[in-house]
Structure 1
Amino acid sequence: MDGDTLHSIGELARRTGLTVKTVRFYSDRGIVAPTDRSPAGHRRYDDDAVARLDLVRTLRELGLDLATIREVVDRDLPLPEVAAAHAAALAVQIRVLRLRHAVLTAVAERGLTPEETDPVHRLARLARLSAAERRDLVDAFLRAVFDGTGTDPAFAGVRRSMTPELPDDPEAEQARAWMELAELALDPDFRAAVRRTVEDLAADRSADRARTGTTGPRPDLAATVCDLAAPALAAGIHPASPQADPVVAALTAHYAHRCGHPDDTGLRRRLLHRLDRLHDPRRDRYFRLLAVVNRWPAPEGPAPALAWSAEALRVRTGHGAPRERR
């Protein structure tokens, strides 16, 4: 088809995939003006109109308004600048939609009823927090956990390992994880539980320094429990089995050495109390959520080893049934 061929509105509609009504609409607004008219007064369009309409349709599909489209097709506005501005606006919209999706997904997963408005409002508020407000929330949590526990440099690393950093443009999974993690960080009971764990760790390190004079990094109690109990767990040894005795002996010997206290019933009950405090499902959940928010590898939590070791000690101390956990 040569360049002098003119098309009716119907032909133009067929070539562009638009309706006749839509082509007429763009023509009436001067976005795609007719090249000529037939003797009967019908509008006729050249091949340039086909290309122009294709561009108009594409820009409309991308969400641009008609005024902007007209400036682009008339070359009054550079297309790259328009595209960049709209891409930035869409990025904001996408972030908002992801956060809304995260809230609605959390409401659905928790089975909240219309009467349970407080959790819904709380989730929505957490989703809307600015970056500065998120930092303030995290800082308040970390201060509640770490302030006043001494100047041990090891705690700087522990503190960093507990700090969530939600990106400005989070994926839906990150946004959902952030909201649940923020709820934990705001929970006074959880804060107090983590604070006790940090205080226990500080006491252990202080005792180490007093006994050995060393200040370097040393495995904490949870890491030691994992190292000692992991083989028994892998072998399927029951905590009450005599086969668990060597593991319990090694664990209590380690703790006795660390505390500078004989391995007796009192020390074992003290150790059991420590293990029960460490074995908090909320703590494991926090670190799993943290890994999602920060895009870290999923952690292998100490919960199984702590539960196994606590039960093995409980059987041997007659210290009653395990505590119920939230």
Structure 2
Amino acid sequence: MDTTTLYSIGELSLRTGLPVRTIRFYSGSGVVAPTTRNSAGYRLYDFDALLRLELLRTLRELGMDLATIQRVLDRELSVAEVAEAHADATDVQIRVLKLRRSVLRAVARSGSNPEETKLMHRLTQLSGEERRRLIDDFVEGTFGTVDADPAAVAMVRAATPDLPDAPSSEQVAAWVELAELVGDEDFRARMRRTARCQAAGRTLDLDIESEVGEELTEFTRQKVAEAMEAGIDPLSDRGALVIDDLVHRFAEVLARTPDTEFRDWMAQQFEEAHDPRVDRYWRLVWIVNGWQLVPSLIPVYPWLIQALRRDRDA
């Protein structure tokens, strides 16, 4: 191409695809100045101006502002430097858009009202540091006492929930529920007790477990965990076989009759010690972090209680 050729605004428009009015704006702003004017006073542009316009259009399509592009054209900034900065900014925009999409899908799925939607949006807009501070406050408020078990604290910290950059709608909903749960003082008190026992490898200090002994207690936990892992419904016939065996074992050790009254008594014993919010906390953590359920941490009490209540609820 002859680099000495001069182009009118109309010719530049044909070559670059930019509207004539846009080229006039860039020309008037000094971003792409005319090389000269013809005898009629019309602006003419050289090949360098054509190249500047083509680069300008490319950078604008990539989302760069005109002031930055001016600095690139004037060689105050390199294209590589600007591209790196804008790539970083684009990464942030992508994360925000993905998070916004997840919030919208969570709202659509749950049918949230306006206040719940605002809360969901506000909590998910927290930065990673702010989310960590929220959980740190929960850990300190729950275990920041002189008798706090270091193992319990370590266990909770090791499972710190961390919302990913591009969460699913399920993870968004779980994070919002988790953020509300950790602020509940009653829940913190229960969490303190449960976490201490779990960290020490013990079950909760239940009267019924103390009475039947460690061997039957561990056997019960193992059998229920296996049933849960196998997907056995506590209200099914297969669930009945598991619970009937356990009821008879408990009755034999306690010298009781394995009837409906005894089953109700067992259910009541476990219900008094079981707080479903603690189970819910761990499940929410697993969801937020995208983990698979760890069999050894699957709470057995809800399944056990439901199976024990089967006859009464039938």
What 5-or-longer segments of structure 1 have no aligned partner? none
Alpha-carbon distance in structure 2 between the residues aligned to 1:287 and 1:176: 14
Residue 26 of structure 1 aligns with which residue?
26
1:291 aligned partner, one-letter code: W
Q: 1:110 to 1:228 in 2, by over 3 A?
A: closer
Task: Spell out, residue by residue over 1:121-152, the C-alpha distance to the aligned partner (whole angstroms, 9 max, x if none).
Answer: 54344234344443342234345655679776
- Residue 160 of structure 1 deviates from its aligned partner by 3.9
Alpha-carbon distance in structure 2 between the residues aligned to 1:66 and 1:230: 59
User: Does structure 1 residue 138 correspond to structure 2 residue 135?
Assistant: yes
Alignment match of 2:289 (pick from 281, 289, 294):
294
CA contact (8 A) 2:182 2:188 kept: yes
The 3-state SS of whatever aligns with 1:186 is: coil
CA contact (8 A) 1:12 1:50 kept: yes
- Residue 110 of structure 1 deviates from its aligned partner by 4.0
Alpha-carbon distance in structure 2 between the residues aligned to 1:147 and 1:264: 43
Q: Structure 1 stretch 28-37 or stretch 158-167: which is displaced more?
A: 158-167
CA contact (8 A) 2:234 2:306 kept: no
Task: Spell out, residue by residue over 1:139-193, the C-alpha distance to the aligned partner (whole angstroms, 9 max, x if none).
Answer: 34345655679776763564245421235x4546455542232123224455455
Normalised TM-score (structure 2):
0.70
Q: Percent identity?
A: 42
CA contact (8 A) 1:229 1:247 kept: no
Residue 39 of structure 2 aligns with which residue?
39
1:46 aligned partner, one-letter code: D
CA contact (8 A) 1:145 1:194 kept: yes
- Residue 18 of structure 1 deviates from its aligned partner by 0.9
- Residue 72 of structure 1 deviates from its aligned partner by 0.3
Q: 1:321 to 1:145 in 2, by over 3 A?
A: farther
After superposition, the CA RMSD in angstroms is: 4.6
Alpha-carbon distance in structure 2 between the residues aligned to 1:108 and 1:278: 33
User: Does structure 1 residue 183 correspond to structure 2 residue 175?
Assistant: no
Residue 55 of structure 1 aligns with which residue?
55
Q: 1:263 to 1:272 in 2, by over 3 A?
A: farther
Task: Spell out, residue by residue over 1:282-325, the C-alpha distance to the aligned partner (whole angstroms, 9 max, x if none).
Answer: 5555444323432323667957x755543443357xxx549xxx
2:81 aligned partner, one-letter code: E
Question: How many residue pairs align between the two structures?
Answer: 301
Q: Structure 1 stretch 81-90 or stretch 144-153: which is displaced more?
A: 144-153
The 3-state SS of whatever aligns with 1:138 is: helix
Normalised TM-score (structure 1):
0.68
Residue 254 of structure 2 aligns with which residue?
262
Q: 1:157 to 1:36 in 2, by over 3 A?
A: same
